[in-house]
Structure 1
Amino acid sequence: MIDENMDMSMHDERDPNPWLALFLDDSIPINQSTKLALMKDNASKSAKYFLPLIQFGSKMTMFFIHIFKFFFPKLINSSKFLHRILAWGLRRFVSPDANLLIFRHFHVGTEILQFIGGNIPNVEVKGNPLKPKNFEDVKDDLFLNHDLNLYNFVIRLNSQLKEKNITISPPEKINLNMITEDQFDHISFPNKWTNFLDLRSAIELFTPFYQLFLTSNDFVRASNSLQLDETIAIYTSQILGTPGHLGLVNNKHPMVPVTTYSAAYRLVLHGLAAETLHEVLVKMKLNKNPDGVVTPKA
């Protein structure tokens, strides 16, 4: 069902809706449920009126927390308490569209790592699959584990590549069995009057809590992990034998870290990059051979 804000019948040529234009545009591969949720999120009153104020307040708060952490680096450190705050905030204040985008991201990210690990012969990288089904799953250090998964995956994968003198290249047949076409929209998200925050506002609000309750190493690592988008995209391009989707990656150059003050914005770009890459793999799977694998193009 198309939301009224994304309905072509509401189009006014004198005042065109930019989010309707992007929703109708298919130049970027992305799941349709994700695109609808993202465009509705962009068009929300929260994004229009609250986000600029929240961004300013978030940056100011992060500055003072940065100073506090400099003098008292270990005084406040509780990942468990942080994730209880995150679970409570997501349930009470975040919109259903934003929650869908957040929960989808863990499913999509898990499957992308499984795809890479499952398509490099003679390499076995055991991970920690994250596919949350409810807000209780958030409390189990979900966000922190997501960041740890990325770095541990890169470390374990490359240690085996170097040890076994393996170069990532297109396999004879690409395995897509781990990629699901699930829309991830079967999770029930609260939709009360308090659930109004858009995705970017929620991230901006949560980022200072992330900074406060994690160690400096955990927080900086989480911020820098966003630039691993380029690394994961390169692994995938080496497997697929095509670099086309690399143009959709905006978080780049992981060896040159970016200030943590931009983490919230880059986190949204990180989510978009994961969604577009996952959709590329989904479309490949939908065109697969009966045996569940595809042969890379020469």
Structure 2
Amino acid sequence: MTPTIWDELATREPIDPATLALVLADQRTWSRRWLYPVLRPACNLLVALAVVARRLVPVRLTAHATMDALCVWFLRRCVSPAAGALLVRHFVVETNLLACIARNAGGPEVSLRPRSLAELGDRAVIVHDVNVYDVLGALGRQVVPPPGGLDTTMLAVGPIDAEPGTRRWLRLDIQSALCLMNIPFALCLSAEEYRRAVQSLRLDAHLLAALADLTGDPVYRTWAPAGVAVRVDSRLEVPRAVYEHAVICEYAHERLLRTTPPPATVRRMADAVGVPR
């Protein structure tokens, strides 16, 4: 049988195998193939109009509770359980990376690890972005590895409840979902909050550099997104950048687990809750 691109990706992508299977299945859905190419330019246009409108309004208006409620409702009713699980998992995975940096290089502790769709409704998006700035902002220009070796006991990912039993009207893929969710983000966050969230995606290079310094492993730096962080670019395509950011975090998380495995006791705890290593 002739190999396909899916065969190649399933073999080569440095992501936890169970998670990679979800990602590849999500990429092969009907909505990713047919709906996403239409949603992408339409949603980008709507978000651009929303951003311009918010900047023209002199009053700083926000609707955080509305944004949270809309997103949770949307995930429950219009997004596939697999895509919802991947989205929740990203919050946990990036928190694990930030917690590893903070624990080993000195910095504020972070603990945003939602386990369900409902837990994304408690200001998770805002806290998620603030955590990135807080942890990376506490670092110096050069991160020094701890003398006793890395503490990676915070890297477990527990079970995630994406409510597979909830009746859904649609089962959108994660990229289509990100396109549509970007609209309430742009409308409900203040102009400054939205800009802060968008520009946090450019800090991946700093996060990966910190991991490279801590581990002595230059591979982390090779995953840094193209371009430079010292550029406040309002034309960044947010849904695409978020998706690529999530994949990069999965790369880094899996490499940390493979190259600096946690103690055996922690691995047994991970096995007990069905956490892939």
* TM-score, structure 1 normalization: 0.82
- Say whether the 8 Å CA contact 2:99–2:110 is kept in structure 1: no
CA offsets 1:233-267 (integer angstroms, 9 cap, x no match): 00111111121122123265211233344111000
Aligned-pair CA distance for 1:117: 1.2
Q: 82, 86, 89: which is aligned to 1:101?
A: 86
- For residues 33-62 of structure 1, the C-alpha deviation after alignment (integer angstroms, 9 at most, x for no partner) is 221111111111000111011112102212
Q: 2:272 maps to what in 1?
A: none
Q: Over alpha carbons, which structure has the higher Rg?
A: 1
Output the amino acid matched with 1:18: I
Alignment-derived partner of residue 280 in structure 1: 255
Contact 1:54 1:201 in 2 (8 A): yes
In structure 2, which of residues 227, 233, 253 is the aligned counterpart of residue 258 of structure 1?
Answer: 233
1:177 alignment partner, one of 153, 162, 186: 153
What's the RMSD between the two structures over aligned residues? Answer: 2.2
Any stretches of 5+ residues in structure 2 without a counterpart? 267-277
Select the residue among 25, 29, 37 that pairs with 2:14. Answer: 29
Deviations 1:118-160 (A, max 9, x none): 112xx3x2233111122221111111110111112222x13xx
| C-alpha displacement of 1:64 | 2.0
* Superposed CA offset, 1:191-236 (max 9, x none): 6452411111000001111011100111011110001111000011
Q: Distance in 2 between matches of 1:43 and 1:171?
A: 43
Q: Which of 49, 52, 66 is residue 81 of structure 1 equivalent to? A: 66
1:282 CA drift (Å): 1.0
Deviations 1:83-102 (A, max 9, x none): 11111111111112211110
Matched residue SS, 1:221: helix
Conservation of the 8 A alpha-carbon contact between 1:229 and 1:249: yes
Q: Which residue of 1 aligns with 2:119?
A: 137
Using a 3 Å threshold, how does the CA distance of structure 1 residues 138 and 90 change in structure 2: closer, same or farther? same
The verdict on how the C-alpha distance between 1:135 and 1:100 changes in structure 2, with shifts beyond 3 A counting, is: closer
% same residue: 22
Question: 1:243 matched to which residue of 2?
Answer: 218
Q: Is the 8 A contact 1:200 1:268 kept in 2?
A: yes
2:85–2:162 contact (8 Å) kept in structure 1 = no
Residues in 2 aligned to 1:210 and 1:67: alpha-carbon distance in whole angstroms: 14
Q: 1:227 aligns with which of 202, 207, 214?
A: 202
More divergent stretch after superposition (184-193 vs 57-66): 184-193
Q: Of the candidates 17, 27, 31, which is equivalent to residue 42 of structure 1?
A: 27
SS at match of 1:170: coil
CA distance in 2, matches of 1:220, 1:240: 31
Aligned pair count reads 264
- Contact 2:62/2:188 (8 A) holds in 1: yes
TM-score (norm 2): 0.87
Asked whether the 8 Å contact 2:116–2:160 carries over to 1, the reply is no
Query: Structure 1's 171 and 202: CA in aligned 2 closer, same or farther, altered over 3 A?
Result: same
The Cα shift of 1:76 comes to 4.1
Of residues 148, 155, 163, the one that matches 1:189 is 163
